Amino acid sequence: MASSSLMYVSPPESILWEKRSKAILDNIKNFEADFICLQEVDEYHSFFDRNMEAQGYSGIPIENKEGYECAIFFKPKFAEFITYQTTRIQGYTKYENLCVAPSSSTVSSESSDVVNAEELSVVMVAFKILKPFNHVVIIASSHLKSGKPDRWDDLKLAQVKTLMTELASFKEIISALTNCSPSVILAGDFNSKPYVHKYINSDNIPSDIDLRSVYEFTKGEPRFTNNVPGFAETLDYMFYTHSEIISPVKLLDSPDEVDFLPNEIHPSDHLPIGVEFEINRNI
């Protein structure tokens, strides 16, 4: 959901935020999801916070002075918030903030002076699923900034490796806190070539994470999630811990052909991906 200044190829009526915002909110309503992971949430406090709360969601954002980060929304009637951690990786330097469960419906994370550099941001949140039974799950929403040349590929891969280490560490904290082994779901806009996806999908990540791409291991990755002149590639992925406890049963379909994004039908500059998971209560 990047700012309209980046969307010069889209029809003028498709990039007006007043119109786009309503269409994006309508899409979110139609998904009827228990968890929503967003990236590039420029209008978090001015739009998403209050409008998502009106739909029964609470939000956890990670933001800097640009307001150009990630957010996770969840339905408190479905999941109980436990705690969360935000991490920014600027270059090879890590900035993080670990917080405890708040009393308000919206969690606010500390602002950072880290801007205008190659940066990966992630918010990791632990929840206890209330239905059908009390299973603990970690939901992570990540965004890797785009627009850098290929010479930054090694840096992006190094940042994702740090992300995996942070995710494994957070899982260890939650395991000790809840006396269980939580499932992990990572969703994000990785803005990079398939090598990042292949790394997360490989055996090189921490063994206690064991992530698998939801789409690749079911119906195949979407043909693309971003479509602009001269570029139509898949940049967005969703991963989950491969186990007998949690399994994908239904995926959100992606079109094979669309006009340049955003447009009248697809108000975001990226196509959405989504999955319905089944939790095995007999394990």
The predicted-structure confidence for 113-122, as pLDDT tens digits, reads as follows 333 346 788 9
Lowest-confidence pick of 15-19, 90-94, 170-174 = 90-94
pLDDT at 147 > cutoff 90: no
Looking at CATH, the fold of the domain delimited by 4-279 is given as: Deoxyribonuclease I; Chain A (3.60.10)
Model pLDDT, residue 194: 80
Mean pLDDT of all residues in 91-119 = 51
Is the pTM higher than 0.75? The answer reads yes
Q: Are strands 135-144 and 183-189 parallel, antiparallel or unpaired?
A: parallel
Q: Are 275 and 214 in contact (CB under 8 A)?
A: yes
The predicted-structure confidence for 34-67, as pLDDT tens digits, reads as follows 999 999 888 898 999 999 999 999 999 987 656 6
pLDDT at 106 > cutoff 50: no
Closest of 178, 38, 166, 155 to residue 96, by C-alpha: 166
Model pLDDT, residue 201: 86
The predicted-structure confidence for 183-204, as pLDDT tens digits, reads as follows 999 999 998 878 788 889 888 7
